[in-house]
Chains A and B, each alone.
Chain A
Amino acid sequence: MRQEPANRIATEAMKAWKITASLILGIFWIVFVAAAVVFFFLKWPLWIIWIAFGTIVVATYVFVFLIPKWRWRRWRYEVFEQEIYIQHGILVVSRILVPMIRVQHVDTKQGPILRKFNLASVTISTAATTHEIPALIEADASALRDRISTLARVDEDDV
């Protein structure tokens, strides 16, 4: 538990996250522009618009440029024969151990944004928890899924 897991996720993950964040913030920009137009024509106090503008610019910078980078930097995983070791989290760093004999099933999934970059995420489920490794190169994700599912086939021995 002292050492970080060895593997990073794909660098394209940052691009994918940036696009996702941009899409969400795009909605806020549209709302903002609409509000600005209304404020301008109705001659409502413009300082509100300026404050909103400042907030949204900062939010865009943080969510689109900083957080994906930080998130990627922290994300690490490693698959051992007996267990899976995951680290993630920006402000709160989580390190998770999932023993192979507790893994119930492994899935890979891919949304439209991940597909654009040939990425896929791997979801590992136990009887009590679900863990996701968010963005791996598609081939790596499939290989990892197959590997975990083979390793997870160990018989449970009563320790």
Chain B
Amino acid sequence: MSEARRLHPIAVLFNLLGSVREAIIGFLGIGFFSLKEGLWLFISFALIFLVFTIIISFLSWFRYTYRVEEGELRIEYGILIRKKRYISKNRIQSIDLSAGVIHRLFNLVSVQIETAGSGADADASLEAIKRSEGEWLRDVLKQPDDPENISTADEAEAMAVTAGPSEKISFKRLFLAGSTSGSIGVIFGFAAYIVSQIEQFLPASFFDRFFTSAVGWAVGTSVLLLIGLVLFCLLILWLVGIAGTMIKYGNFTITRNGDELFISRGLLEKKQLTIPLGRIQAVGIRESILRQPLGYATVYAEIAGGSLDKSEDFSTVLFPIMKRDEIRPFLEKLLPDYKLVTTYTLSSLPRRACVFYVWRAVWPFLLAMFAVWYFFPPFAWIPLIPLIASALFGFLRYKDAGIYVNAHQLVIRTRGFSRNTVILYHKRIQAFEKKQHKLQKIIRLATVKLSIIGVLGIGTHYQLKDLVENDANNLGNWYSYRDRWGSL
């Protein structure tokens, strides 16, 4: 029980900043065009807008109240139309506290409440309340049957000490994670660099025809400049990647607390995330192209339901970076009841599948090559580079693809750019599909697709292409609930 309360007055500022941020692009556009004549008109218009927004922000803060009553969180809001949202304690899936820079200045937190329902309306967020208040709210709204109620610990670190097994990222690892992040960006950067180098190898006739020697010299220097610039941009990109990762995953700590995983991370903005173990649908290991040769991988989980945090990827990172052989003890420590298979030998695909894999990777570049070959014969060899690279990728995809099945679990490994290994539970798989096109039928291959619950009610689907047809059938039988109980 509690009487209706308002958010911290700083929420007015957040409301204001939010509206201004939304409007600012439009205003900049208008401002740009009215530079000459209507500048004063524009400024007065902007001022009116600002005053109006301040009033609205204040009113919406004033009208926004929350209270806990009869086991429900009751939020009332709306300026002209009063809206009430009552969220029953039993429906609440998770309560997350996070604190941005401004929050931390005033010792405030923002509270995100997720429910099982679908759609954005099912969730609530209190933008700024006192930290103690937030923790009180979390304790009050916790499930009553929760065995280990988290006490009002002052800091996440304190919680980590009192609670069960936990893992914290070291600075060295964090730095490594940063320097190997954004792998695709860096690779594309290098590709761009190589392409810019290519000019040296252009046929001499090309230069003869189009450039006098003076122009050629100018081009030569500018090419050098360009290469320097590209390298510089790459360096900046890389540093930004490091900084971004450090800020995002700084102080990353994961702790198991009874039936929940508790993640806290972030250097500037501290984010806290609670994952009830029961909502984990699958556990995955992602080895990006830069990290794989170093023997490092990211461990993540697919979590059912909940709202999609804009800054968050679709899957939830359980640990940003760790050595491949540390994954097993890590999973055993944090998810012991899940009895995840951590030792497995994947059976790879048959050799005849290789052609399909290479073909799928190669055909767009093959088309491009024919087009270039037809229209610009002297440059026909340029698309050859991505062609060979893609063929190599196709082969890697074929080589890395694999599957392992035991009584209750299934491990699938595929590669897009990164190598992904996903551990699925039989009871979490929502549907099974076997697909086969004409060519696959002739050489007895088939594609399988497994669906699990994903965020926002969209399923997450795992597809493994070109399995031996028999294995695909057996996988179907493994999944089938008929054969499982032998009733048919």
Interface residues of A (CB under 8 A from B): 1-2, 80-83, 89, 91-102, 126-129, 131, 156, 158-159
Contact = CB atoms under 8 A, between A and B. Distances in A.
A94 B433 contact: yes
B461 to A, nearest CB: 8
A128 B435 contact: no
A1 B427 contact: no
Nearest to B426: A159
Interface residues of B, number: 37
B452 A80 contact: no
A71 B433 CA distance: 18
Contacts, number: 87
B473 A92 contact: no
Q: What's the dominant secondary structure at chain B's contact region?
A: mixed
Most buried by B among A80, A81, A83: A83
Given A80-B488, A82-B487, A127-B304, A97 B427 contact: no
A7 to B, nearest CB: 15
B436 A92 contact: yes
A99 B263 CA distance: 34
Contact of A127 (B408, B453, B472): B453
Nearest to B437: A92
Contacts of B434: 1, 94-96
A137 B482 CA distance: 27
B217 to A, nearest CB: 51
A90 to B, nearest CB: 10
Contacts of B433: 94-97
Interface of B: 304, 408, 426-427, 430-438, 441, 451-454, 457-461, 472-477, 479-482, 484-485, 487-488
B437 A127 contact: no
B150 to A, nearest CB: 26
Given A97-B479, A102-B430, A159 B451 contact: no
7 contacts: A1-B434, A1-B473, A91-B437, A97-B479, A101-B481, A128-B452, A129-B430
Contacts of A83: 480-482
Contacts of A127: 304, 430, 453, 457, 459
Contacts of B430: 98, 102, 126-129
Most buried by B among A82, A93, A101, A128: A128
A128 B451 contact: yes
Contacts of B458: 128
Nearest to A154: B481
Contacts of B436: 92-93
Nearest to B470: A2
A1 B477 contact: yes
